[in-house]
Amino acid sequence: PSCPLRGGYVNLPDVDISWRMVLNAITTFSTCIQFVQLLTINDKLAAFTYTIGRMFEDVYRNLLVISIIMVSFAATLSVMREDSFQTFDVSIVGLLRTIVGLHSPSTTYVSSPGAFVIILFVVIIDIGFLNILIAQLALAYESLTKETAGFSRMNRAFTTVEIESLMPLATRRKIFLELQFDQPLEFDNGDSGPSGGIQVLEPASVRADPRYVPDRIMRFTGEA
């Protein structure tokens, strides 16, 4: 096979890629990428991974729109039978190379309407959507990093729930019973609070801190 490049065609070597090889590669990548979950042990790394995951949502939406626009322009160039864009698949590869700047196809013998279509595509994608994507990522990162501690705990809780879903039901039930979520949380002597949580005692030194604000909720002993 040959691929149209700037200055002519370059012969490509025949590579026999089977579906089994592709599936093995995807499986290997998916397995190794799971080690990212280990980063949730550290609060800062957990917040960073959560932020990256949220930012990928913007990347996905932007790339989806770019793909639709690329298909539209590729179909247009293939219908026009322009040089280096004779078929739809070749047009897709050529436009993709144009975006990333990797051996763009030769446009020496492209007609004026074809050149206008290519220039319009570059303006829309390179100048428009890619800059919009950069601005979206910058704004998203700025807003997400303001609450890194909360996001790190959310990411850790999400990972914990995912791991817990892989455990047998008997083991999950045993852990739930050991945590005693059905027992009410005692606010004070004789003051039984709601259930469904884990009680953490507050150190007495907190009340001596000058920034301490007394509890303004009036509590009455008895069952909740």
Give dist(CA 92, CA 85) in Å, integer: 8
pLDDT of residue 5: 47
| 147 phi, psi to nearest 5 deg | -125, 60
- Report the SS3 class of residue 52: helix
Give the domain extent around 189.
Answer: 180-224
C-beta separation of 126 from 89 below 8 A: no
To which residue do tokens 């907190």 refer? 206
- Residue 161 inside a domain? The answer is no
C-beta separation of 74 from 84 below 8 A: no
pLDDT of residue 78: 84
Give dist(CA 58, CA 55) in Å, integer: 5
Q: Could you tell me which residues are beta bridge partners of residue 191? A: 188, 222
C-beta separation of 92 from 71 below 8 A: yes
pLDDT of residue 105: 61
- Please tell me whether residues 224 and 131 are part of one structural domain: no
- Please tell me whether residues 198 and 140 are part of one structural domain: no
Model-wide pTM > 0.85:
no
119, two tokens:
């220039």
- Residue 29 inside a domain? The answer is yes
Q: Which residue, of 152, 169, 197, is where some domain finishes?
A: 152
- Residue 170 inside a domain? The answer is no
pLDDT 10s per residue in the chain (224 long)? 445 544 444 444 554 557 778 888 888 888 887 777 777 677 677 777 777 777 787 788 888 888 898 888 888 888 887 777 778 888 888 888 887 776 666 666 677 887 888 888 888 888 888 888 888 888 877 777 667 667 777 777 887 888 888 888 888 888 888 888 888 887 767 677 778 888 777 777 777 777 777 777 666 665 55
- Please tell me whether residues 147 and 198 are part of one structural domain: no
- Please tell me whether residues 19 and 118 are part of one structural domain: yes
Task: Look at the chain and report how many structural domains it folds into.
Answer: 2
